[in-house]
Chains A and B, each alone.
Chain A
Amino acid sequence: MPCVGDWLNSPLSIVQGIFAQNVPNSDWEKKVTEYFKEKLKENNATNWVPSLNDVPVHYLKPNSLVKFRCMVQDMFDPEFYMGVYETVDPNTNARVLHFGKYRDVAECGPQQEIDLNSSRTVTSERQTFYCVPVPGESAWVKEISFFASQARVSPSTSYTPSRHKRSYEEDEDMDLHPSKQKEQHMGNSCCSGGDIHGCVEPKRLETEASAGHHVISPNCSPPLDLNFPLPGEKGPACLVKVYESWESFKVNDVLEVFGVLSVDPVLSIVNSEERDSSTLDPVECMDTAEEQRVHSPPASLVPRIHVILAQKLQHINPLLPACLNEEESKTCEFVSNFMSELSPVRAELLGFLTHALLGDSLAAEYLILHLISTVYARRDVLPLGKFAVNLSGCPRNSAFTEHLYRLIQQLVPASYHLRMSIESMNHSRFIPHKDYTANRLVSGLLQLASNTSLVIDETQLEQGQLDTAGVHNVTALGNLITWQKVDYDFNYHRMEFPCNINVLITSEGRSLLPSDCQVHLQPQIIPPNMEEYMSSLLTAVLPSVLNKFRIYLSLLRLLDYSISDEVTKAVEEDFVEMRKNDPESVTADDLHKMLLVARFLSLSVGQTTLSRERWLRAKQLEALRKARLQQQKCVNGNEL
């Protein structure tokens, strides 16, 4: 593969080539995207592109092709740039046309000047997104995609600073190593659950260290807030410049972008220089210092990616093909293969979760339903398909919820553990708000990508007084659960952003937050040492099985579902019957719930239509759950 190095290492020279060939027409842009699309389609080519998620920025070659899996955190204003510009050599009057696409700086040789008034200049428009790594992305996602993309270096090897050499080596390696190795690495990496951070951690630390270093260096200015939604997140934030169909992207979308990395130091110099020299230039002093810091941060810290190809990701699970909607035989095959072994996987997962929930199989059943739930549609204001579960009756002191979260983290691609306390409710920033001085959206905890699991731990909440911020935060949580939307604060007005977040609330009694369904936990065993118990649970699961669980949970979310007329009739009959027998306790709400349970129950066994059998099973589950709640009420009543 002779040209691999070329299009990977210096994509701009390819663009230049295409540009030179087609210059008078404007369709060179189309040809460029087509070229790269073709290139990336070739067998697993996407895996050869170094990913900004795994490799620290300073190990990557400037102006090389990189990929980045990220969430759109904020959208800046569109930029007008010189799509095509002309340089003049003042001595010889020779004129040359250049392209400005995929570049931050209009380049010209030492002897040349840019002719700003040339009639051949083409002004074009592009959009800048401020992107951060997917918030709460699980370690295993990072790790698997890390090995998938680096199918050539052994995981323990740490990078050496001489990175130019490295990247050439890598390129060669890539050719030699078939991507088969990927499987093998995956196998190795997942050998032990508790140990799982082991191989990733050094790399992560390194990123962090290098980032920290950069933060301190320039002029000792205060560290730049990279605006990650969740505290303690790491990884690069990135200014992603999009050239095509940016209208289709939304805030909080998860994207995978392929583009040209630009870390030109000029970009960061701009700021400091401008501030002293531009007193006369009216255009420059318009932005406040904060705004400049945010909108053109040092490129070493926040690199730019000029997007050649971008796609929205339906999910971030690296074990699944990236796009399931395509009618490719490969994906079909994958899905049908997996479907064939669905029921053993489900059984195993149920067993695993039952153990995790201290032997409560009903709660485990509901937990599965919860984990595969997703908002599939909205009817005017009503989100359909949300299934927030309140797991009440959690043992308080044994750090049960902590460990339960860790298990869930091993299963879902993105999650966050919110420990509710008076302190955290009063002092954390839940709702993203617009900072008009810096002209950006300051992120908050609730700015999460679709299908993120939010585990709220209410067991630690003590009595106390919430202040205004706390009340707002609790209200925001409530709105999130009930309407699946977050009202972002734009100071002069609020704006509603729909979201799709799976909320699991663990509490002792009934939660103070609303939920779709409350399941009271009935532990069968109370292990003396919770930590030991849980970690032994995880080690007992084979890594390959664990991966199956992960595929199971991500895949089932994406399936379609329908109800036949016949079953509709049956459900109708049933409902009428139930109302007749007990009009007090069966309401429209209950029907809603039962339909939801039936939906996810059918999906969980791989059925895409509701069968009578599943409907009865759903009713049965609901009845069991209700009986348990009733029982609980009685117990509590007696105690009081």
Chain B
Amino acid sequence: MSSPASPPSRRRGKRGRGSNPPTPQDARSPPSQKRRTDDSTSTGDLQPMPTSPPADAQSPGAADALFSSPPQFRHSAIPLDFDISSPLTYGTPSSRVEGTPRSGVRGTPVRQRPDLGSVRKARQVDLHSDGLAEDIVATEQSLGQKLVIWGTDVNVASCKEKFQRFLQRFIDPLDKEDEDIGLDLNEPRYMQRLQEINMVGEPFLNVNCDHLRSFDENLYRQLICYPQEVIPTFDMAANEIFFDRYPDSILEHQIQVRPYNALKTRNMRNLNPEDIDQLITISGMVIRSSQLIPEMQEAFFRCQVCAFTTRVEIDRGRIAEPSVCKNCNTTHSMTLIHNRSMFSDKQMIKLQESPEDMPAGQTPHTVALFAHNDLVDKVQPGDRVNVTGIYRAVPIRVNPRVSSVKSVYKTHIDVIHYRKTDSKRLHGVDEETEQKRFTEERVEMLKELSKKADIYERLALALAPSIYEHEDIKKGILLQLFGGSRKDFTHTGRGNFRAEINILLCGDPGTSKSQLLQYVYNLVPRGQYTSGKGSSAVGLTAYVMKDPETRQLVLQTGALVLSDNGICCIDEFDKMNESTRSVLHEVMEQQTLSIAKAGIICQLNARTSILAAANPIESQWNPRKTTIENIQLPHTLLSRFDLIFLMLDPRDEAYDRRLARHLVSLYYQSEEKMEEEYMDMAVLRDYIAYARSYVNPRLGEEASQALIEAYVDMRKIGSGRGMVSAYPRQLESLIRLAEAHAKVRFSEKVETVDVEEAKRLHREALKQSATDPRTGIVDISILTTGMSATARKRKEELAQALRKLIQSKGKAPSLKYQQLLDDLRAQSDTAVTKEMFEEALRALADEDFLTVTGKTVRLL
């Protein structure tokens, strides 16, 4: 509002202070504040009263008071910022005082704050009818400090003093905020902020209301209840301190205080009529933002006859066009000069309640926001923001010419401060700390819970209680939900180590795999659920779309990117086609996703855990086959899963009995018991969220030793039979699992118990999935190479036998395929299948020993 006075220059005003001429002093369009400041160049222009509402004129005493009261810094904005009838006008006069001692102040223009006062005038109070004004002036002159703003209990002077004390003294070494980079927490926080303003030149002081509350409860209450009156007072206080300290600082305009995080932080749904005109903070998602709207703050009229000019301020959204020229008394001669009228930037934004805050089964509410000046275009549709502002309600006239009024108010929020909830995600600082706040009692409760010895078992039981048993699988998923610790090895060239744990469930159909997936998807905040059958590679990753309206290319993200920091549940993993699966390779190890499409080349983060479920190819699990053979997935992909569980239908009478009881109980259990379980889900969710954001375990000495031993042991098992049974990938898995288990205990250190459990779980999973069905030995190479070592050995032997057989046949250049197979079968002591035979042939062909063409085998 300050400098750009004409519409053409208003865009500059929006963009940034840098481009603004500090004080455009051309006589053509003197900014409004000039009229009230004691700037000598514009004093001639000063028209003391013509534009101000009659209230001023009505009380000349007040005008006198203006001159006599102590110097202060809020001046020109007064007629717009406050209710004219508010004594604040008289309490904070100052502006006309000649020779304000601080030159810096004089040079720094005040910028109007439309965020504070745009509709205030609608609620004018007839103050002067009872002569209260005189009283106040008198009181002020005599007592000075006893003055309160009409209709409130705010005493300007003491309020200002308290706020200054707050700025100078507030220290809270414990409260660390993400923006506090480079702040010394043991020094007064806001003084450092002011210093920052001096250096950076951004004249906005963000004040955390929580700090204010801990400092002075009463001041905080006043701020919440009368933001319109209190914030200007804060402005004054801040400016006084600032220009005391940095008298030579040049700012674009005076500092504006922007409180945020008002404790009345609430869900949009809780807004009610009592909140009108109060300071509130609500969170939500921007769904629509309007074009920039130039809002006329002051109209400039010129008489066409005598060229006399006058200004008219906006009043309740309307400009009263003067019908008579005051100079020459011609009627209807005044015309509006657009170029010299004053405009401010304004933008309308629709905010929708965030999905988490919504009660089930209802549609989200929306609320309108008005952003002014430099807050315009700060947010885009889709952003999650916390908005601090003043809640307003304005009556709607049905028709300007009819006196009846629609009995409904229009409500909106004048934005004072935006705080992007997901800004951290955009900047990619540290994403583990999701913006989830816990009350102290909750944290206490969770910590209490974490001390229980059987917490791990308890949580595992609370997970999907309707699914029966499968405890190890639930434990695995639990660890997956917690995840490992993120490690950064970029400087040594290895990039990020994956912290996420991937799990594959395979097994008979109808063993509630999908149900487990659904449960997990419903449990985690950032979960995605897709089915391998219906999803394509683009649906999983990201695709480029042309916006039909703007013809702009837009990157649309798929399930994997959307579940960044969450869990992507993929059902029917086996039904997924080859190309789709191939994108998972990158995601599952590097945790990124590269896209090169339609001119857009980028790498997106996809730090997602994958929980997949696959059915066996033959619809029923064949226990005589290996995992790979059963689900026909490439081993390159399988080896990227930390845990592979088989969900088989156990054939056991006791189990059947328990299962039956469990299921029957499902069908008649009372609602109450279900309620209890629902509670458990909420606790579980919080527990996980807390652990994920606040617990970051590191390996302890003992644990490292235990891990090394475990790994060496694993390698040893195989080495006796000439095969490798563990690879570094398995070690990494173990580390992740151990870390996740430590997180379950809220422990900052990974200890031996964690390693023990990781080992146990890993072994359990291996036992299920990597057992060679022929030998019954756990063989990791099934997962890493797709074939067990014994199978490979047998293949080798068969090929050798075949070679011998062919060589024994002498010099025949070609042999009949069927003949050869029969001969081999006759010679071999084990059954030779056709497949085995072909494999052997292929192996020999690879050695350039022979070629196979159709039904004949040719020697080379």
Contact = CB atoms under 8 A, between A and B. Distances in A.
Determine if chain A interacts with chain B.
Answer: yes
Interface of A: 74-75, 77-82, 85, 100, 103-108, 112-114, 116-117, 123-125, 247, 250-253, 266, 269-270, 273, 277, 280-286, 377-382, 384, 434, 436-437, 439, 441, 471, 474-475, 482-483, 490-493, 495-498, 561-563, 568, 571-572, 575-576, 579-580, 583, 587-589, 591-592, 595-596, 599
Which of A82, A113, A381, A575 neighbours the largest number of chain B CB atoms within 10 Å of its CB?
A: A381
Contacts of B466: 379-382
Given A437-B288, A595-B667, A381 B522 contact: yes
Contacts of A123: 273, 276, 393, 409
Nearest to A377: B674
A419 to B, nearest CB: 22
Nearest to B318: A280
Contacts of B830: none
Contacts of B285: 492
Interface string B346-384: 101010000100111111111110100000000001100
20 contacts: A75-B362, A104-B407, A105-B406, A105-B407, A106-B404, A112-B403, A269-B399, A270-B399, A283-B410, A283-B412, A284-B410, A378-B674, A381-B519, A436-B381, A493-B355, A575-B656, A580-B653, A592-B663, A595-B663, A595-B667
A266 B665 CA distance: 59
A282 B674 contact: no
A595 to B, nearest CB: 5
Contacts of B583: none
A474 B534 CA distance: 10
Contacts of A106: 404-407
Given A281-B317, A283-B396, A117 B510 contact: no
Given A80-B409, A106-B406, A579-B656, A588 B510 contact: yes
Contact of A380 (B126, B288, B355, B681): B681
Contacts of A252: 361
Contacts of A568: 661, 664-665
Interface stretch (B116-124, B755-763, B837-845): B116-124
Given A105-B405, A123-B276, A377-B669, 20 more contacts: A82-B409, A103-B407, A104-B406, A116-B405, A117-B126, A123-B273, A125-B273, A247-B359, A251-B362, A251-B363, A286-B290, A380-B464, A380-B522, A381-B518, A434-B363, A439-B350, A490-B355, A572-B660, A572-B664, A583-B649
A277 B346 CA distance: 20
A557 B458 CA distance: 37
Interface of B: 118, 122-126, 271-273, 276, 285, 287-288, 290, 293, 295-296, 317-319, 346, 348, 350, 355, 358-368, 370, 381-382, 393-396, 398-400, 403-412, 464-466, 468, 508, 510-512, 514-515, 518-519, 522, 531, 534, 649, 651, 653, 656-657, 659-661, 663-669, 671, 674, 677, 681
A75 to B, nearest CB: 5
A471 B534 contact: yes
A196 B285 CA distance: 50
B407 A563 contact: no
Which of A107, A380, A589, A592 neighbours the largest number of chain B CB atoms within 10 Å of its CB?
A: A380
Which of A106, A282, A592 neighbours the largest number of chain B CB atoms within 10 Å of its CB?
A: A282
Contacts of A471: 534
A377 B678 CA distance: 12
Contacts of B319: 280
A497 B668 contact: no
Contacts of A269: 398-399
Contacts of B518: 381, 483
Contacts of B276: 80, 123
Given A80-B273, A123-B409, A595-B663, A107 B404 contact: yes
Contacts of A75: 362-363, 365
A575 B652 CA distance: 12
A567 to B, nearest CB: 8
A266 B398 contact: yes
B370 A282 contact: yes
Contacts of A270: 396, 398-399, 406
A441 to B, nearest CB: 6
Contacts of B511: 587-588
Nearest to B663: A591
Provide the main secondary structure of the chain B interface.
mixed
Contacts of A117: 123-126
A61 to B, nearest CB: 21
Nearest to A287: B368
Contacts of B364: 490, 495
A571 B407 contact: no
Contact of A588 (B287, B404, B659): B659
A424 to B, nearest CB: 18
Nearest to B508: A587
What are the nearest 5 A-B pairs in CB distance? A250-B361, A106-B407, A575-B660, A100-B407, A123-B273
A77 B363 CA distance: 9
B287 A81 contact: no
Contacts of A495: 355, 358, 364
Contacts of A583: 649, 651
A176 to B, nearest CB: 39
A112 B508 CA distance: 79
B664 A439 contact: no
A492 B382 contact: yes
A293 to B, nearest CB: 16
A105 B404 contact: yes
A586 to B, nearest CB: 9
Contacts of A108: 403-404
Contacts of B370: 282
Contacts of B382: 492
B766 to A, nearest CB: 26
A583 B656 CA distance: 10
A93 to B, nearest CB: 13
Contacts of B665: 568
Given A85-B407, A572-B664, A579 B653 contact: yes
A127 to B, nearest CB: 9
Contacts of B410: 283-284, 286
A436 B288 contact: yes
Contacts of B659: 575, 588, 591
Contacts of A475: 531, 534
Contacts of B649: 583, 587-588
B662 to A, nearest CB: 9
Which of B276, B319, B361, B519 neighbours the largest number of chain A CB atoms within 10 Å of its CB?
A: B361
Contacts of B272: 125
A601 to B, nearest CB: 13
Nearest to B411: A80
Contacts of B653: 576, 579-580
B346 A282 contact: yes
Contacts of B534: 471, 474-475
Contacts of A575: 656-657, 659-660
A282 B358 CA distance: 30
Contacts of A434: 363
A134 B269 CA distance: 27
Nearest to B382: A492
A273 to B, nearest CB: 6
Nearest to A246: B362
Nearest to A594: B663
B510 A589 contact: yes
A103 B404 CA distance: 12
Nearest to B400: A277
A563 B668 contact: yes
B405 A114 contact: yes
B734 to A, nearest CB: 31
Which of B125, B359, B407 neighbours the largest number of chain A CB atoms within 10 Å of its CB?
A: B407
Contact of B657 (A250, A490, A576, A588): A576
Given A106-B406, A123-B409, A280-B317, A441 B363 contact: yes
Contacts of A599: 667
